[in-house]
Amino acid sequence: MTGSDLPGALDLDELSAPLMVFGGPYSNLEATRAMRRIAAERGIPAQQCICTGDLVAYCADPVETVREIREWGVRVVMGNCEESLAESAVDCGCGFDQGSSCDILSGEWFSYAGALVDDDIRRWMAQLPRRLVFTFNGLRLAAIHGGVVQINRFLFASRSEAVFQQELERLDVDVVLAGHSGSPFTRQIGAHLWHNAGVIGMPANDGTQQTWYSLLESAAPGELRISHHRLNYDAAAAAQKMRSASLTGGYERALESGLWPSLDVLPEQEKSATGRALNFAEQIWP
């Protein structure tokens, strides 16, 4: 499959700096509002904010979170959660092994969200692009959710270069902005860059309550300044909402402990880093 016959893309033409990138609001209204406040404080307009999908997932405010994102007006890529809700599917579409911990835990929140999300939201989700493409400081970028074709493909930092190269060969871009995995990282793959800003709705299994977003800024012409940032928000309030909604499979504790209740999807390298605080240096690329 080549760039010309990939699933639907929206060309945004050229975006200005700085660019704020975040993924996975995950029905976490407190985190979403905190992210919006930071954008306002930094003076970053909505059209320079990109969300890599999965607006609705683990937490207790699916409708309110979607409403916040729509009112804010940021650019949104369809995630597998949006795809599944739009289609009234039987599960979230993450591709978890049937009967695994992740499969069982996702069933809890998906049933909860599915009962609350109305037809208007489902229609809006169905119209979201699977890919955003744009020019930024002389470079060509694409924003996707998981993989280029497979929307629910988990691509963690420890995956082989060949796996990332396989994805990059499908796109005529310099940089890919991706989400889905829940773990932030930036990795150079040959002459290209793969950047995952992480998610704002759930900690990165690093033992802290904070979540992650990133900023892309202009350096010299044709160069990006990339920085990963922690997001502080009222995790206790979000967790209490989950308990009040009987969403008590373990992700409500994860908001406070920073540790995921299931590690089924993680490669061994990421599993071994459980509870280890993440640190990122600012990077200029290339």
Q: For residue 3, is pLDDT > 50?
A: no
Give residue-wise pLDDT tens across range 97-149: 676 666 677 778 889 999 999 999 999 999 999 999 999 999 999 999 999 99
| 4 pLDDT above the threshold of 80 | no
**pLDDT band at residue 15, thresholds of 50, 70 and 90?**
very high
3-class secondary structure for the chain? CCHHHCCCEEEEEECCCCEEEEECCCCCHHHHHHHHHHHHHHCCCHHHEEECCCCCCCCCCHHHHHHHHHHHCCEECCCHHHHHHHCCCCCCCCCCCCCCHHHHHHHHHHHHHHHHCCHHHHHHHHCCCCEEEEEECCEEEEECCCCCCCCCCCCCCCCCHHHHHHHHCCCCCCEEEECCCCCCEEEEECCEEEEECCECCCCCCCCCCCEEEEEEEECCCCCEEEEEEEECCCHHHHHHHHHHCCCCCCHHHHHHHCCCCCCCCCCHHHHHCCCCCCCCCCEEEC
pLDDT of residue 109: 86
User: Per-residue confidence at 2, pLDDT binned at 50, 70, 90?
Assistant: very low
Fold of 10-285: Purple Acid Phosphatase; chain A, domain 2 (3.60.21)
Q: Is the pLDDT of residue 7 over 70?
A: no
* pLDDT of res. 102: 67
Cis peptide bond upstream of 221, omega within 30: no
- Position 65 scores a pLDDT of 98
State residue 8's pLDDT score. 73
pLDDT score of 230 more than 50? yes
Query: 69-88 pLDDT, tens per residue?
Result: 999 999 999 999 999 999 98
pLDDT of residue 1: 40
% of the chain exceeding 90 in pLDDT: 87
Q: Where are the domains of the chain?
A: 10-285
Distance, in Å, from the CA atom of 247 to the CA atom of 51, rounded to the nearest integer, reads 24
Half-sphere exposure of 60 (CA within 13 A, CB side): 19
Q: How much of the chain exceeds pLDDT 70, in percent? A: 94
The Cα 235–Cα 208 span in angstroms is: 10
pLDDT tens digits, one per residue of 253-271 = 999 999 999 998 899 999 9
Whether this prediction's pTM lies above 0.85 is answered by yes
User: Tell me, what's the pLDDT at 146?
Assistant: 96
